[in-house]
């Protein structure tokens, strides 16, 4: 995914004036959304990433979405 975003997506983002909107459906464990955000932060830097990319996560489980909104990540979150 890193190479695809770096080689294909970033050039497209840099040429457009509007934000790129990324939708992650079924994001109950929040890992995907977090990983996407970290990827764009790494490749673009914080200022460009926050001004060029908008990430929306949806799920039918409202409790999971609430935890994601507040950034409720515990230390072993990525090692399950």
CA atoms within 13 A of residue 64's CA, in its CB half-sphere: 13
pLDDT for the residue 24: 85
Residue 76 has pLDDT above 60, yes or no: no
Domain boundary assignment for the chain: 2-71
Residue 20 φ then ψ, to 5°: -80, 130
Residue range 16-65, pLDDT digits in tens: 778 888 888 877 667 778 888 888 888 888 888 778 888 888 888 888 77
16: left (phi over 0), alpha (psi -120 to 50) or beta: beta
Q: State the Cα torsion 52-21-66-72 to the nearest 10°.
A: -40
Beta carbons of 54 and 19 less than 8 angstroms apart: yes
């Amino acid at each position: 995914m890193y190479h695809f975003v770096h080689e294909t997506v970033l050039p497209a983002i840099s040429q457009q004036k509007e934000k790129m909107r990324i939708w992650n459906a079924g994001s109950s464990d929040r890992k995907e959304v977090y990983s996407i955000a970290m990827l764009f932060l790494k490749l673009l830097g914080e200022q460009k990433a926050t001004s060029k990319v908008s990430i929306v996560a949806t799920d039918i489980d409202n409790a999971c979405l609430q935890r994601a909104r507040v950034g409720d990540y515990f230390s072993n979150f990525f090692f399950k």
